[in-house]
Structure 1
Amino acid sequence: MRINCLACGHKVTLDDAYDNFEGPVKCLCGAMLEIRTEDAMLKGIMLVEPRPRPAPESKRMEGAAAT
C-alpha cells in the first residue's frame, strides 16, 4: 500500500503489516501522519501537528567551584 504524505507529497510505502492498522506513520520529511486502514484500504488520514518539546533544564552542580 502507498499513501501520499499530506505535508510534502512523498509516496510512503507501507507493507502488509499496515493492512489493518490505526496509528502514526512518519514520512521521510519528518511529518507525522495518523492513519486508519481496513482490509488494505485507507479509511482515514490526518496530519498530526508536532508537539513542542519542553526546553531542557540546565543542570548545575551545586557546590561546584567557580572557575
Structure 2
Amino acid sequence: MRLNCLSCGHKVELDNAYDEFEGPVKCLCGTMLEIRTKEGLLKAIKVMDPQTPRPSQPPGMPGAAA
C-alpha cells in the first residue's frame, strides 16, 4: 500500500502488515500521520497534533529527562 504524506507529498510505502491498522506512521520528513486501514484500503488519514503523545511515549513533561 502507498500513501502520500499530507505535509510534503512523499509517497510512503507500507507493507501488508498495515492492511488492518490504526495508528501513527512517520514520513521521512518527520511528519506523524494518523492512519486507519481496513482490508488493505486507506479509510482515514490526518496529520497528528504535535502535542499529542505518541503511544510509545509515556505521558509526562515534554522535553523532560526520563
TM-score range, shorter chain: 0.7 to 0.9
Amino acid at match of 1:18: Y
Q: Report the Cα distance in structure 1 between the residues aligned to 2:47 and 2:32, rounded to whole angstroms.
A: 6
**CA shift in 2, pair 1:20/1:51, >3 Å:** same
Query: Which one has the largest radius of gyration?
Result: 1
- TM-score, with normalisation over the residues of structure 1? 0.76
Q: Report the Cα distance in structure 1 between the residues aligned to 2:63 and 2:16, rounded to whole angstroms.
A: 38
SS of 2:30's equivalent?
coil
Give the superposition deviation at 1:54: 3.0
Amino acid at match of 1:54: P
Q: Let me know the Cα RMSD of the aligned residues.
A: 1.8
Give the superposition deviation at 1:5: 0.2
5+ long unaligned stretches in structure 1: 58-67
- TM-score, with normalisation over the residues of structure 2? 0.77
Instruction: Name segments (4+ residues, structure 1) moved above 6 Å.
Output: none
Equivalent runs, 1:1-67 vs 2, <5 Å = 1-51=1-51, 54-56=62-64
SS of 1:17's equivalent?
helix
Give the superposition deviation at 1:56: 4.2
5+ long unaligned stretches in structure 2: 53-60
